[in-house]
Structure 1
Amino acid sequence: MGQAVTGQRRKRDASATRAELIAVATEEFAEKGLAGARVEEIASRTATSKHMIYYHFGSKDGLYRAVLEQAYAEFRIAEGAVDYADLPALDALAALVSATFDVHAQRPQIVRIIMGENINRGAQIRSIDSFLQREVALDTMRQILDRGVEEGTMRKGLDPLQVHLTASALCFHYIANVHTFGHVFEFDAHSPDQLSARRDEIIATVVNRCAAPAAKGD
């Protein structure tokens, strides 16, 4: 009995350590990129050591890939927090887009990391099996679009991938450019009012793109 409890405690401790390392590494990689981030700095900001980082992740690249995986998992977790089956299809689509925007807005570190990975031509993400992430994202979108067709509120022939890419692109673009937008157009792009207005605009754009003419009042 004592050995079982000890084993469970060790698993919990290892899981907590891993989560802490990923959280701190997310900040470090977002600020400095893969090349500029230092394992020693990440270790100094956590209750662990450089040796333990290598024990859990194998290398700095391994830690970075774990951060990337967690970043995409956060999108799926947020998107999965809504029971879309209880909503009319157009409302479900609006809720899905809203959840996507909120993750981008609340976790700009993720946006910066993904930007860096694209600058590096996706060198690290190629080593990550994205099958589950892809299927979860597209299945959710597909179910909403199919239900919308059944309800008569959405157009037929919509591609779940294209709708997902459009929603993601609109959300990502604003947060990725929030500093320059604010300067160029002289407004507080980070303010709650502006974030809310941008969220509403993106939702309206995606929903109107998918809605059947009758649902739009045409």
Structure 2
Amino acid sequence: MKTVSAHTLAQGAPAKVRRRDREKTKAEILQIAFEEFAESGLLGANADAIAARAGITKRLIFYYFNSKEELFIAVLEMAYGRMRQAEESLHLEALAPEAAIRRLAEFTFDFHQANPEFVRLVAIENIHRGRHIQRSEKLTQMTRPVIGQIERVLAKGKSLGTIRPEINAHELHVTLNAMSIFSVANRHTFEAQFCWDMSSPEAKARRRTEIAEVLWRYVRCDEPSAIVDLGSEERPPDA
């Protein structure tokens, strides 16, 4: 067996430590920047404040991310990546069409409720007309898995005659996110204007149930299936 000297171990250790520290530092910068950007926007967020909270120098931030805009793109990639990773655990194809649609609706609502900073970050990127997402190939590809899941659920439902044939996966995704995000993005103004509770656990539970019901009623096919197994039918004799 080959003997490894203490000197050799000592030589290799610093590189591993530096690598580990580097990744840990970058992750801390991204998390703190995520919070700062969500609170103050791209223009209002301060690199000095991010550096102070991370216990590092501002120069180190730009060493890792080059510029404030590149840091913002990296934060967007991290934030969207968390949502897409959570979506992968849904396994919608294993469910019946109605259960899958309701599960998708409930998951989307729950994610936005649990991550209001993500909703704010998306709103901020829309203020900038999505230009940072357009610069990231990773971000433009992130939507494919969830759209693929929805397409497979719709295809299954259409083949069974339980989902309307004209339903489109992208349109459905838009509709669901619009309903779910409203409860987070517009909660304060809606409560102030209409004196309507949107914040209590009871109000959130009602809204969650309603969105799932609305989405399913929208996609479902109320007409009986037109699919007929002619092989099981008794055919009339030839004329």
1:98 and 2:117 are equivalent in the alignment:
no
Output the amino acid matched with 1:41. Answer: A
1:5 CA displacement:
6.0
Q: Distance in 1 between matches of 2:158 and 2:18?
A: 50
Q: Is the 8 A contact 2:163 2:220 kept in 1?
A: yes
> Given residue 122 of structure 1, which amino acid in structure 2 is its aligned partner?
G
Structure 1, unmatched stretches of 5+, are none
SS, match of residue 69 in structure 1: helix
* Residue in structure 2 matched with residue 134 of structure 1 by the alignment: 143
Deviation at 1:9, TM superposition (A): 4.3
Answering whether residue 214 of structure 2 is matched by residue 205 of structure 1, we say yes
Question: Does the 8 Å CA contact 2:93/2:149 hold for their aligned counterparts?
Answer: no
Q: Deviations over 1:46-78 (max 9, x none)?
A: 133212211221111111111111222222122
Conserved? CA contact 1:74–1:103, under 8 Å: no
State which structure, 1 or 2, has the greater radius of gyration over its C-alpha atoms: 2
Amino acid corresponding to residue 139 of structure 1 in structure 2: G
Distance 1:74 1:15 in 2: 17
- Secondary structure of the structure 1 residue equivalent to 2:86: helix
Q: Give me the whole-angstrom Cα distance separating, in 1, the residues matched to 2:168 and 2:24.
A: 39
Q: Report the TM-score, using the length of structure 1 for normalisation.
A: 0.89
- Cα distance in 2 for partners of 1:12, 1:195 equals 41
Aligned 8 A contact 2:133 2:140 in 1: no
Percent sequence identity over aligned pairs: 34
- C-alpha separation between the residues in 2 aligned to 1:123 and 1:201? 34
Q: Given that residues 101 and 171 in structure 1 are in contact (C-alpha distance below 8 angstroms), is that contact kept between their aligned partners in structure 2?
A: yes
2:157 to 144, 148, 159: 148
Residues 148-187 of structure 1: pairs in structure 2 closer than 5 A: 148-187=157-196
Inter-partner Cα distance in structure 2 for 1:51 and 1:117: 25
Q: How does 1:43-54 map to 2 (within 5 A)?
A: 43-54=51-62
In 2 relative to 1, CA 29–150 (structure 1 residues): closer, same or farther, beyond 3 Å?
same
| Equivalent position amino acid for 1:158 in 2 | I
* Paired letter, 2:100: A
For the Cα contact (< 8 Å) 2:97–2:153, is it kept in 1? yes
Superposition misfits of 4+ residues, deviation over 6 angstroms: none
User: Secondary structure in 1 aligned to 2:142?
Assistant: helix
- Consecutive unaligned residues in structure 2, runs of 5 or more: 1-7, 225-239
Aligned length: 215
Equivalent residue letter for 1:12 = R
TM-score, normalised to structure 2, is 0.82
